Amino acid sequence: MVCQDPVRRSLLLTALAAGACLVAKPVTAEEDQPGSDDRPQKGDLLVHSEGEHAGEVIRPGDLKLGGPPMHAWPKDPKSSVIRKGSRLNEIVLVKLDPGELDDESRSRAADGIVAYSLICTHAGCPVSEWVKAAEGDKNILKCPCHNTEFNPVKVRKSCSDRHLAVWRHFHLRSPTVRLQ
């Protein structure tokens, strides 16, 4: 059977094409940007990864002493590409009293601001909780997948201590929050 009505055929084809467009995943220019899934680089700026300030450069004054932590993505200062193509690139920042940091943490901090990978080294989950430690009165970062606690004040070289695990540090450079 041949369709004799070209208007009807045009309407059906237009409706079919529109439906296909609605079902297809939209591709944004940001997803296509070269370098968005590259690992963090020396000199990258850090930008807010969530909330109303997402994408804005983080300033040291944005962080409050003692927390809460802030989530960030690295951003290439030359191309302005935010490196959020891999969940492994997300960073958690916490501003602590520099006098409480151990020597290794202090050497990698900028005015008490420490930066860690947001991804837990044990189970690969995002470490998303900022709670009181099971022992003592300090706040710690906690993985909700298996309840491992990460003390942002001290770096441990071994996973033998059940509550602490190795975290990848990022060197920061004052006065801007930038990878060094």
98-120 confidence digits (pLDDT tens): 998 888 888 878 888 888 888 88
38-57 confidence digits (pLDDT tens): 988 888 899 999 999 999 99
Q: Which pLDDT belongs to residue 55?
A: 92
CA distances from 54 to 71, 128, 148 (A): 10, 17, 28
The total of other beta-carbon atoms located within 10 Å of residue 92's CB is 23
Q: Which pLDDT belongs to residue 142?
A: 85
In the predicted model, what is the mean pLDDT of residues 74-83? Answer: 93
Helix or strand or coil: residue 18? helix
Ordered domains of the chain (ranges, CATH) = 32-180 (2.102.10.10)
The total of other beta-carbon atoms located within 10 Å of residue 25's CB is 6
Q: Which pLDDT belongs to residue 8?
A: 65
